Amino acid sequence: MNENAIGKVIVDCAVKLHMDLGPGLLESVYETLLAHRLQKAGLHVKRQAPIPIIFDGIQFDEGFRADLIVDDKVIVELKSVEHIHPSHQKQVLTYLKLTGLKLGYLLNFGAPVMKDGIWRIINGKLD
């Protein structure tokens, strides 16, 4: 599957999960259950995947952790907040740049309606 096809599955699963549970639970709950649903859909999911930083030619593994990396192609960052701050979008773009991946999603399960809590973030050009 390419990034766009994976993204469609991610968004569909997130919307269904939000409809089932509603807003306001802890981010970790949504992470666990979304990962489960994505795996049931046949996707490979890494949770709390380390994103190292390479600085001065040295790799530091203490960098960042992506909430989910799906099929080694799409990063998913989850929030459960009232409002997304621009720094949350920058966070996803930074993860994309550090990994060389092209597509990321910022999903805010704190939004009253999930469609208002979805941001698609692109690093470069998708095939």
Per-residue model confidence as pLDDT tens digits over 39-84: 999 999 999 999 988 889 888 887 789 999 999 999 999 999 999 9
Read off φ and ψ for residue 53, nearest 5 degrees: -115, 135
Fold (topology level) of 3-122? Trna Endonuclease; Chain: A, domain 1 (3.40.1350)
Residues 11, 17: Cα–Cα separation, whole Å: 10
Task: Read off the pLDDT of each residue in 3-26 and give the average, rounded to a whole number.
Answer: 97
Q: What is the pLDDT of residue 126?
A: 66
Q: What is the pLDDT of residue 61?
A: 81
**Residue 91 structure tokens:** 């966070």
pTM, two decimals, is 0.92
- Give me the residue spans of the domains in the chain: 3-122
Task: Read off the pLDDT of each residue in 81-105 and give the average, rounded to a whole number.
Answer: 94
Residues 105, 125: Cα–Cα separation, whole Å: 15
Residues 64, 47: Cα–Cα separation, whole Å: 12
Give the neighbor-by-neighbor strand order of the sheet with 118-122: 45-55, 58-70, 74-79, 103-108, 118-122
Q: What is the pLDDT of residue 37?
A: 98
**One-letter amino acid for residue 60 of the chain:** F
Q: What is the pLDDT of residues 31-48, one digit of tens each?
A: 999 999 999 999 999 999
The H or E element that residue 4 is part of is helix 3-21
